[in-house]
């Protein structure tokens, strides 16, 4: 079961507290921050779910990060055209099943994964390809 961290409204998560909370997964967090360095990053607080990081281009979210103990969850919504492009991409073949299993919402096809997923590196590649498509 996932254990959320940063569920109190104050203080907002700081770099050192993120390192402590994520443990070994912190390196993945830093990698995602580097990949998305040209995007805006906003921490938002919700009384029901605690702090969440939104990475966006001021129009559409690229992804959200929900901090958990020793890991974090990444959520993203992709458009139908983006999903179709990814399903044709041989580099993403290992996650095609997960992409096919996504559910469509108003925001798009929602994909969620954690840093402890076996396919994390493939999802990191997915995010890089999504950035390329949207730029």
Q: Which domain holds residue 25?
A: 15-134
Residue entry with tokens 């390329």: 132
CB 108 within 8 A of CB 62: no
Residue 102 is encoded by which pair of tokens? 């996504």
Residue 2 lies in a domain: no
- pLDDT recorded at residue 120: 86
Residue 10 lies in a domain: no
Give dist(CA 96, CA 104) in Å, integer.
16
Q: pTM of this prediction?
A: 0.92
pLDDT in tens, 53-62: 999 999 899 9
Domains: count for the chain: 1
Residue 41 lies in a domain: yes
Residue 101 lies in a domain: yes
Q: How many other CB atoms sit within 10 Å of the CB of residue 115?
A: 24
- The torsion region of residue 108 among left (phi > 0), alpha (psi -120 to 50) and beta comes to left
């Amino acid at each position: 079961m996932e254990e959320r961290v940063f569920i109190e409204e104050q203080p907002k998560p700081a770099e050192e507290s993120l390192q402590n909370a994520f443990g070994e997964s912190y390196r993945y967090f830093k990698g995602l921050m580097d990949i998305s360095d040209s995007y805006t990053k906003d921490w938002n607080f919700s009384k029901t779910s605690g702090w969440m990081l939104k990475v966006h281009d001021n129009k559409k979210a690229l992804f959200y990060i929900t901090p958990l103990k020793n890991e974090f969850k990444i959520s993203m919504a992709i458009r139908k055209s983006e999903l179709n492009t990814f399903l044709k991409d041989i580099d993403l073949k290992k996650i095609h099943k997960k992409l096919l299993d996504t559910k469509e919402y108003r925001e798009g096809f929602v994909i969620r994964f954690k840093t402890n997923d076996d396919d994390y590196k493939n999802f990191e590649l997915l995010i890089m390809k999504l950035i390329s498509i949207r730029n």
